[in-house]
Structure 1
Amino acid sequence: MVISVLMVAEKPSIAQTLSDALCTRGHPTSRKGISPACSVYEYEGDFYGQKAWFKVTSCAGHVYSIDFPPEFNVWDRVPPVTLYGAKTVKNEANPKLRMPAHFQKEAKGCSYLVLWLDCDREGENICFEVMDNVVPNLTPLQGEQQVWRAKFSSLAPVDLRKAMATLGSPNKDEALSVDARQEMDLKLGCSFTRFQTKFFQGKYGDLDTNLISYGPCQTPTLWFCVRRHDEITGFQAESYYTLDVTISKIGRELHLEWQRGQVFDQPIATTFRDIVQEGKQVAKVTDISQKEDRLPRPQALNTVAMLKMASTRLGIGPQQAMHMAEALYLRGWMTYPRTETNTYPANFDLRGTVQAQTQHPMWGQYAQELMRTGLARAREGVDMGDHPPITPVRAGTESQVGEGWRLFDMITRHFLATVSGDCKFLKTKVRLEFNGEEFSLSGRKVTDPGFTRIQMSGEMDDVTIPDFQIGEAVPVKSVGIGSHKTRPPPYLSESDLLTLMEKHGIGTDASMATHINNICERNYVTLCDGRRLIPTKLGIGLVHGFQLVDNELVIPKIRGNIEGMCTLVAGGKAQVESVLHHVLKIFREKFLYFESNVGLIDQLFESTFTTLEAAGRPLSRCGLCNKYLYVVDRKPVRMFCKNCDRVYKMPQNGQIKLYKELRCPLDNFELCFVANKVGKSYPLCPMCYDDPPFGAKNATGKHWELEHPIYQKYRPQVMACIGENCPGTLCLDVDSAPKWQIDCNVCMQQLQLFTDKAHKIKVSADFCEECGSRLLAVIFNKAKSPLDNGETERTACLACDPLFNAHTTSGTSKGFFRRNPGKGKGKGKGKGKKGKGKPSAEDLAEERGRQLAAAGKKR
């Protein structure tokens, strides 16, 4: 009997690598599954002594994501504090991938499931997401284990076969720890983010209030940066003085180091200078010492160390470095990039890993030398019990590795350095006495470069000094006082920040890079020269504001405690329910206190940011009070009425102007005009743009609603958009004369009509019988008319009429042509019939406006 075994990897590329490595009889076949992203690879083999048919497929990361039920996702209706007691649901992470259906179908007829997800807590959590869909569909086997877990750190075939031979079981506790962390992060982050975003929305002109986020990891990460900023701004420079003495030896001038170091009182420094200047200007050698010292080889590489090295040595940020490392791992160049361990296990094949590099054109000779002379014993580190340290799997050149070459080069050199000898050098120290004061001179000579031969950044240069004899008198060339000032510490680099996050338990090796990237993307810090992080006015204001209310909301202590409790859950030492109850209870109380004292932050912001009134300029009249609306031109662009105390969102691109002093027939607001130098310009009503009158909100990227009376009058519909997969409608820009144009109300498609030949263009009430588009009634300039016999008027279809078509150009081709004939049919345009005798578009628009205005518009 042949059994069926389903094996699930975390990514499609790993599934293919896995099937290629484990298939020993020919080659695996592949086919498409239900999910468009994940293929299924099949082959024949053996499973615990039984003939088996293997099906290897994958997910694409998490199958599910945690969220609140829909009723809790309406910000205006749900008080943020209620989120702490709200239930959570798991929704498909990406419904388009159809992962649950994919697994359910592939599981049917299978007897066993082997999970090949990433070997960390997140991967363990995904194991159980997969099991939820697979296990109910497996063929039941009485008393047998049907679910197995593979543990691996490399995609090398030998390591995958070893993992297949040593299968274990998935770890429920580790999966639950991820569930607990996700729920805590969701409830804490959403409650504070929703409250402070709504509270500060529309209050300040130079504050982007679209989303003022709080995150249990993000905010302590920002706190480190702001704390360093505070240390710098609060730093008081202090003057100090040194005694600078220069001697001359065989034509070289050598600067001596004063044994007292420095003094902070200038008169004292002057006194010492006068003392040494009074006697003979000769320094006497009193002692010469030599000592062999060494620079230790580096420890094995873990994730945080890799990210720090990538930032400081390669100038690559943590987020980018992590993406590169994951890509290198998936392509089989290096081992799993997420690990906290920095010591090699006792059974780690160091010689085999070095042997794989012996033919490399750049460091192959060095690797061969290591194999001949023997590998140095790697330095001791910490074994966290997760994955072995990061090492190369095979040799590769720049052309083979591609984009991640610099990172691969760094990782490989670091690995070879960890099994190389220490860098040895001889330190020489010469002590001299000069009129009662002691000075010294130091030199260094490398005797064995050791690991610095391969790890370029570790190179050590010689510091040569002349030979001296005890008792030798050396002439003094100059004596002076050096004046200096103490300097503040520099802003944190990415490497510094990673060190602090690791020390205080903020984030995991897998998430630290994301937290740093988040505070950059949300404009809380800016990345400057030297990859240093300087907090912005917003970042500083947020942290200082939180500190005024509750310092524990930003300092790393509490987050470190949360991570510690999740670790207890992962180790089976704490119940997930009790941890959740404990943490959420604490933060609910903190939230209520924050909510009642947010005025302290508002007071701080008042002294930091500009009010809306000061940042805006008066433009148009409000339809509710007839006072002026002010427009804030800096992003986020918005308008506000001081009298009504209401803010109106506006388009973020283009200059906002007044439109002919016309008013919206629905709400009496004066119309504005969005003017763009390139692309479309269009009128809008501030009220209708902020709160659309026809039910649904504007679709993403949509510029105007076709049914609105101002667009029926000033942007009348002509035809369906010719853009690929665009659902929009091309409308005549009545303000574009004499360079007439037609714009799409959704995408950026634009048609130019008749260059400057047309005097007037009007959208007819009639429709084209061929394609359903509205006809255009055109009056041409008499001197430039393209019509025969001096005619100047013509009504025809832009898409179907050869003459009109020839004088129309689009952004995609010089000659306009209708890409999808008939697309306009059935879109409320008469379904291809001429519809003669109907009222004009302008009349219909005005009538529609009167009806809506009379009925009243619900706001």
Structure 2
Amino acid sequence: MSYELIICEKPSAAEKIATALADSKPVKKSENGVPYYLIAHHKKDIVVACAVGHLYTVAEKEKKGWTYPVFDVEWKATSEIDKKADYSEKYLKTIKKLAKDAKEFTIACDYDIEGETIGYNILIYACKQKDGRRMKFSTLTKDELVESYEHANPHLDWGQAHAGTTRHVLDYYYGINLSRALSLAVRAAGAFKVLSAGRVQGLALKTIVDREKEIKAFKPEPFWQIELKGNSEKNKSQKEPDLIALHIKDKFWKKDEADTIFKKVTQHKDKANIKSIERTQFKQAPPTPLDLTTLQTEAYRSMRIQPKDALSVAQELYLKGLISYPRTSSQQLPKSIGYANILKQITRQQMYQALAEKLLKKSSLEPNNGKKTDPAHPAIFPTGQHQHLDGYEAKIYDLIMRRFLATFADPALRETMTITVDITNEDFIAKGTRTIEKGWHEFYGPHVKLEEIELPQVAKGERVHVKSIDLLNKETQPPKRYTPASIIKELEKRGLGTKATRAQIVESLYARGYVKDTALQATELGIKTCEILEKYCPEIVDEALTRQFEEKLDEIREKKTKGETVLAEAEQVLTKLLKAFKQKEKIVGKELLEANVETRHEENFVGKCMKCEQGELMIRPGKFGRFIACNKYPACKTTFSIPSKGFVKPAKKACETCQYPMVEIKQAKRGPQDVCINPNCKSKALSKEEQSEAKKEEKPCPKCIEEKRTGGRLVVRKGMYGAFLGCSNYPKCKQIQRLESKEKQDGKQQEKKEPKKAGKEKDKKSKKTINKK
């Protein structure tokens, strides 16, 4: 039996494509747990198979130990190179087996550079083919998939394929050689630590380090402001917002000048009056459709969802057929997607029904398209299909849905109001902004974050009742640190990296210890690594050179240049700089080692030891999990327990109750908490009554009984969060239970006494009473 083999990027995409193309229900088969589908499309036999992302990766042809430079590379099965990807081996074997009897081959991977690279490698190395048909689609909806299959390109997109494979080799050249150079430099200094750098990673780090240096070098300058608070003389008894105005000069850089004016206006505050009122109305255009970077920055701004999570969730929504392909640079929605048809489908979703119906009543549907385009895909949009979602999926879907609706809506009408207050020829300015007509704000809903500053109703010439005039002493502020979202936007603005890789670059910086915290702060290791790259490998952090390579990759995609030419140039650049780096290996290694020690100390230093007063309390790894211990061990054996799960870091502050150091703890389903490490802190102590009640809760350990372990009892213990019940067989048994407060226990007992039915009747009666009133 011969057939056409369609190769998809993911199992879920294969199922969608098989279902869409099948004349009847697809027949699902599996090989070693790998699914594939037998279908007929217009009576033509087709097998739809799947990969799990990249089945091939770039690697050295022959391993010659840890050395550099490395340029002799080839494509190998990912499962051979990465132990974490050994699951991909069975997918590769299945495709190879299915390829033997296939007479036609069609690639249906995501239509972008990465998808083309995945499909190209499978076609060339697994299927042993020189070319194949190419499906192009932006959504996994039935109509678009059928259209994509029946009008498939007879050839691969060779521009994308060559650009993709060249990018992978280029990134491997930079990544493997720079990472080995840095790691071997540390080894030469007598230690071991894996460090990494990359073609774009180095520049991303430099951008963050440059900002960190700006902040450290920043010297605040004092300035003064004169602030007036008051309201209308005739409306001073009414509940209206205060009129808050600043002197027209805003910032005074000389204290004596501010003092003079402050004294003058304070003495004559009873002469304050409304000098002028200006109102300016303006239309605020709807937002442009979502590209990936905007989706990531909006998700972070509105909901504090990390960029990598936003992309991951959006990819899942795409695979479920709920949104279009998310890895796009486009801010434009073409008419071909069928605006009205999508909106009609959205009306079936109760949450968005009224908004979609409102748009459908418009005489014409025109999105507020942005300037950015993408040769492969339109902006991100909902397909109109729906299924139950929760968690991040529900949040990201809501953002994408509301953004889509908002871009078709009318502009919002806003008004700025400027009130000038005069006190003996000294002007004070109050500014307010309000929304008059919501327009697109109604559609974007909770994701609209605009400041509404309401001013009191006053008239020109009216006297002002001055409540207070204050001389404010302030300082200029340093520039803000980047966030994971703003650094991605900055990299895009500079043309560095790709829309799909920027979030992963930021994650790499965290993983290597180069940056920390949500507001990206460069660590000493990150700063030193960047300084070393600047000193010994300036080309690595040369923005112009990096951007030049990005532009050449675009030229490969456009078939204006060849990958071999670009790789030869990169090899020449790297060979020169690595040769110079090798001569300074020991010096570099010593500097990196010192920076690493300093960074680790900063990350794990909790505070001074309260017992010996000589040592430092540090977070340490242990046999049964991490803990806090004095670094003067064995002279000082002070230790404190901390949670084994979640993220723990020094809070850099002392407990107000006992003055012991505190740590910040982040655990699943809990926000960050600052907790005192002292288990005997009075803030955690139980009252006598609570202690008595807690003792009553002690009982045999259910886990020890289940596992036939003798002597286990749940007894009252003290921990980070206060008292709890823990097994007496710890650490062999780690069974714990919370101690509930007396109020909760009383509430539960009350619930048991009152039947649920009676409770409902009671609620009904109370509602009737309220209605009568």
TM-score normalised to the size of structure 2?
0.72
How far apart are the structure 1 equivalents of 2:547 and 2:424? 57
SS at match of 1:41: strand
C-alpha contact (below 8 Å) 1:428/1:442 kept by paired residues: yes
Moved more, 60-69 or 192-201: 192-201
Distance 2:275 2:619 in 1: 70
Structure 1 pair 263–604 and aligned structure 2 pair: CA distance change class (3 A): farther
Deviation string, structure 1 residues 530-576 (Cα, Å, up to 9, x no partner) = x3222222222211222233444235443222222111111111111
Match of 1:246 among 229, 234, 241: 229
Q: Which residue of 1 aligns with 2:217?
A: 234
Tell me: CA distance 1:401–1:270, structure 2 relative to 1, closer, same or farther (3 Å): closer
Q: 2-side partners of 1:60 and 1:346: how far apart?
A: 33
Q: 1:451 to 1:202 in 2, by over 3 A?
A: same
Instruction: Go from structure 1 to structure 2 and tell me whether the alpha carbon gap of 1:69 and 1:356 turns closer, same or farther (over 3 Å shift).
Output: same
- Pick the structure with more helix per residue: 2
Cα deviation, 1:171-210, whole Å, max 9, x if unaligned, reads 11221122222222222222222222122138488xxx43
Paired residues, number: 608
How many angstroms apart in 2 are the aligned matches of 1:651 and 1:45?
58
User: In the alignment, what sits opposite 1:584?
Assistant: 571
Q: Is 1:178 aligned to 2:160, yes or no?
A: no
Q: Which residue of 2 aligns with 1:113?
A: 105
1:782-815 deviation line (CA, Å, top 9, x unaligned): xxxxxxxxxxxxxxxxxxxxxxxxxxxxx99xxx
Within-5 A mapping of 1:219-230: 219-230=202-213
| Alignment of structure 1 residues 21-36 onto 2, 5 Å | 21-24=20-23, 26-33=24-31, 36=32
Instruction: Quote how far apart the aligned CAs of 1:407 are.
Output: 1.4
Which runs of no fewer than 5 residues in structure 1 stay unpaired? 139-145, 616-632, 639-649, 656-676, 678-750, 756-810, 813-859
Matches within 5 A, 1:335-734: 335-373=324-362, 375=365, 377-396=367-386, 399-400=388-389, 404-455=393-444, 456-458=446-448, 460=450, 462-527=452-517, 531-598=518-585, 601-602=588-589, 604-605=591-592, 608=595
1:129-140 to 2 correspondences below 5 Å? 129-133=121-125, 136=128
How far has the Cα of 1:753 moved from its partner? 12
Take 2:710 and 2:245, find their aligned partners in 1: how far apart are those partners? 84
Q: Is the 8 A contact 2:14 2:48 kept in 1?
A: yes
Cα offset, 1:400, TM superposition: 4.2
Distance 1:400 1:473, change over 3 A: closer
Distance 1:300 1:39 in 2: 36
Give 3-state SS (helix, strand or coil) of 2:436's partner: strand
SS at match of 2:497: coil
Which residue of 322, 326, 330 corresponds with 2:319? 330
Unpaired runs of at least 5, structure 2: 80-84, 603-616, 629-640, 642-706, 712-731, 734-773
Decide which structure has the larger Cα Rg and report it: 1
Residue 56 of structure 2: aligned partner: 64
Distance 1:290 1:574, change over 3 A: same
The structural deviation recorded for 1:248 is 3.2
State the 1:461 CA deviation: 6.0
* Rounded Cα–Cα distance in structure 1 between residues aligned with 2:286 and 2:12: 35
2:145 counterpart residue number: 160
Query: Aligned-pair distance for 1:339?
Result: 0.5
* Alignment correspondent of 1:13: 12
Compared with structure 1, are the counterparts of its residues 174 and 462 closer, same or farther at alpha carbon in structure 2 (3 Å cutoff)?
closer
User: In structure 2, how many angstroms separate the alpha carbons of the residues matched to 1:330 and 1:228?
Assistant: 38
Structure 1 residues 376 and 292: CA distance shift in structure 2, 3 A: farther
Deviations 1:339-360 (A, max 9, x none): 1111112423222222221122
CA shift in 2, pair 1:591/1:754, >3 Å: same
Look up the match of 1:190.
176
SS at match of 1:119: coil
Letter in 1 for 2:177: S
Counterpart secondary structure, 1:586: helix
Q: Which SS does the other structure have where 1:123 is aligned?
A: helix
In 2: Cα distance, 1:753 partner to 1:282 partner: 85
Equivalences for 1:215-294 in 2 at 5 Å? 215-249=198-232, 250-251=235-236, 253-277=242-266, 281-294=270-283
Q: What's the CA shift for 1:438?
A: 2.2
Residues 434-477 of structure 1: per-residue CA shift (max 9 Å, x gap)? 22222222333322112222321215464333333333343444
Distance 1:3 1:607, change over 3 A: closer
Deviation at 1:11, TM superposition (A): 1.2
Return the alpha-carbon distance in structure 1 between the equivalents of residues 183 and 467 of structure 2.
67
Q: CA RMSD in A?
A: 3.6
Residue identity matched to 1:111: K
What is the CA distance between 1:13 and its match in structure 2? Answer: 1.5
Structure 1 residue 300 corresponds to structure 2 residue 289 = yes
Q: What amino acid maps onto 1:118 in structure 2? A: D
Deviation at 1:39, TM superposition (A): 2.4
* Cα separation, 2, equivalents of 1:584 and 1:485: 50
**CA distance in 2: counterparts of 1:280 and 1:511, whole angstroms:** 59
Q: Contact conserved, 1:549 with 1:600, CA < 8 A, in 2? A: no
Alpha-carbon separation, structure 2, partners of 1:478 and 1:92: 70
Does 1:317 pair with 2:303?
Answer: no
Aligned to 2:699: none
Q: Paired residue for 1:694? A: none
- The answer on whether the counterparts of 1:446 and 1:462 sit within 8 Å (CA) in structure 2 is yes
Are residues 197 and 443 of structure 1, via their aligned partners in 2, closer, same or farther at CA, if it must alter by over 3 Å? closer
Q: CA deviation at 1:402?
A: 6.2
- For 1:302 and 1:452, the matched residues in 2 are separated by 20
1:102 to 64, 73, 94: 94
Matched, 1:41 2:37: yes
Q: Which residue of 1 aligns with 2:197?
A: 214
Whether contact under 8 Å (2:306, 2:485) holds in the other structure is no
Between 362-371 and 12-21, report the one with greater CA deviation: 362-371
Change (3 A) 1:605 1:39: closer
SS of residue paired to 2:520: strand
| Shift, 1:315, TM fit | 2.1
Alpha-carbon contact 1:241-1:262 (below 8 Å) kept: yes
Q: Taking structure 1 as reference, are residues 610 and 350 closer, same or farther at Cα in structure 2, changes over 3 Å only?
A: closer
**Paired position in structure 2 for 1:774:** none
Give, in whole Å, the separation in 2 of the partners of 1:400 and 1:607: 49
Determine helix, strand or coil for the equivalent of 1:347. helix
Partner Cα distance (2:264, 2:710) in 1: 94
The 3-state SS of whatever aligns with 1:466 is: coil
Q: Specify the code of the residue in structure 2 equivalent to 1:21.
A: A
Aligned equivalents of 1:753, 1:478: Cα separation in 2: 72
- Bigger drift between 233-242 and 414-423 goes to 414-423
Q: Deviations along 1:348-391, whole A, 9 cap, x unmatched?
A: 32222222211222222221122123545323331121211111
Aligned amino acid, residue 39 of structure 1: P
Residue 413 of structure 1: how far off its partner (Å): 1.5
SS in 2 for 1:387: coil
- Paired residue type of 2:107: L
| Letter paired with 1:319 | K
Residue 137 to residue 380, structure 1, CA distance change in 2 (3 Å): closer
Show CA shifts across 1:64-108 (max 9, x none): 111002333x11xx4x13x14x24343354566245543343234
Does the CA contact (< 8 Å) of 2:227 and 2:246 recur in 1? yes
Asked if the contact 1:3/1:52 (under 8 Å) is kept, the reply is no
Amino acid aligned to 1:40 = Y
The answer to whether the 8 A contact 1:38-1:59 is kept is: no
C-alpha distance in 1 between matches for 2:177 and 2:126: 35
